[in-house]
Amino acid sequence: MLAIKLAYRNLIGAGLRTWLNVFILSFSFLVIIWHRGITNGWDRQARNDTINQEIGGGQYWHENYDPYDPFTLADAHGIIHEKLQEKADYAPVLITQATIYPGGRVQSVLLKGIEPDQKVLTIPTEYLKSDMDEIPVMLGSRMAENNKLKIGDIVTVRWRDANGTFDAADAKVVYIFKTSVPMIDNGQMWVSLQRLQKMMQMDGEATLVVANQEITSAQDLQHWLFQDHSILLKDLDEYRKMGNIEGVIMWFILLLLAWIAIFDTQVLSIFRRQKEIGTDIALGMTRGQVIRIFTIEGAMHGILAAILAAIYGGPLLYLQAVKGMSMPEGTDDMGITITDTIYPYYGIGLVVVTALVVLTTTTIVSFLPTRRISKMNPTDAIRGKIQ
């Protein structure tokens, strides 16, 4: 307890030098939490949106389906297995390549057929219910913007059916929805499953079947392979890992600046207080006790930094968690799931772990210069001789 009191008194007595170090360390502490909160918030939103709007609890893929190879779509379809026909639990999707001609231009698209009354995904498929002569289609906002289409527009669609015969018809845009998931938006048009099955002459067939969120694991069926979240969210996991590596580099640079400041302060303090150290040792204080005082002084930088960061940084982090951080224009074309506004997520674990890392590393950096005290001769120290 005496060592703590002496360390605190010495730290406060240093005045401005102490508070400059504390501010630098608190700023690093705050930026680390902010950056990690942004990353966690994006990851949570991206996962929730992808699960709710695209993959559900998991997907059954036809054995020939490869989402990264569009040439497999010609053979990647089959009769929906009888165990996958419960509408409350499953949403079949039929996918085929097609070509549209918006404004006299040629654009390759994927036609995706889905049940208008499905309840597995949160996309507004109910707008596909229509008896109009044209094919009712639903577009994502990116797809509509890139092709300059709006609700009510009619565009010619050409496709090849199961027999290899080309056919064409007019499609009418009945709804445009906003989504952060590019895999259900970019280059895609949504139609009624029954309408697409009729167009393709594939009655009762689908390319994949989306399971509801309660079904996160299941056995493979004949011709149908179950894909769980570890596969369907692999891209997001890779992006998160890349973000973590970049974050660690940034954290290290920020903390390095604070460590250097604290290290230099400790070295200077030991140099200027040689007479005090020699006197303490001459009066009976052991070298270990003196080293402990200086180490505690350095560790207190971390404690004061955490308190200061909470005072001026807490309200800022809370405000951004409520208001969110708006993303610049163009981020929705990056090909990853990202919303217009990211809401940071600051978990208790994040704050505690960051505080422990900062406190531990600060204590270690503070201890390193104090090793010189163990080599001091009390008589020479009192006389002010440099060792």
pLDDT digits (tens, 9 = 90+) for 158-206: 999 988 899 999 999 999 999 888 889 888 999 999 999 999 999 999 9
Structure confidence at residue 292 (pLDDT) = 77
Which SS3 state, helix, strand or coil, does residue 139 take? Answer: strand
Which of 138, 129, 199 has the alpha carbon at shortest distance from 169? 199
Which residues of the chain, if any, have pLDDT below 70?
A: 1-15, 264-278, 280-284, 327-336, 338, 369-387
Which of 156, 151, 144 has the alpha carbon at shortest distance from 175? 151
- Tell me the chain's radius of gyration from C-alpha atoms: 32
Residue 312 to residue 26: CA distance in whole angstroms: 10
Residue 242 to residue 229: CA distance in whole angstroms: 19
Contacts of 12 (CB under 8 A, 6+ apart): 18
Which of 358, 18, 46, 24 has the alpha carbon at shortest distance from 183? 46
Q: Are 98 and 189 in contact (CB under 8 A)?
A: yes
Task: Kindly report each contact of residues 338-341 with a partner whose C-beta sits within 8 Å and lies 24 or more positions away, as own/partner.
Answer: 338/42, 338/46, 338/180, 339/45, 339/46, 339/49, 339/180, 340/180
Q: Are 159 and 199 in contact (CB under 8 A)?
A: yes
Structure confidence at residue 330 (pLDDT) = 57
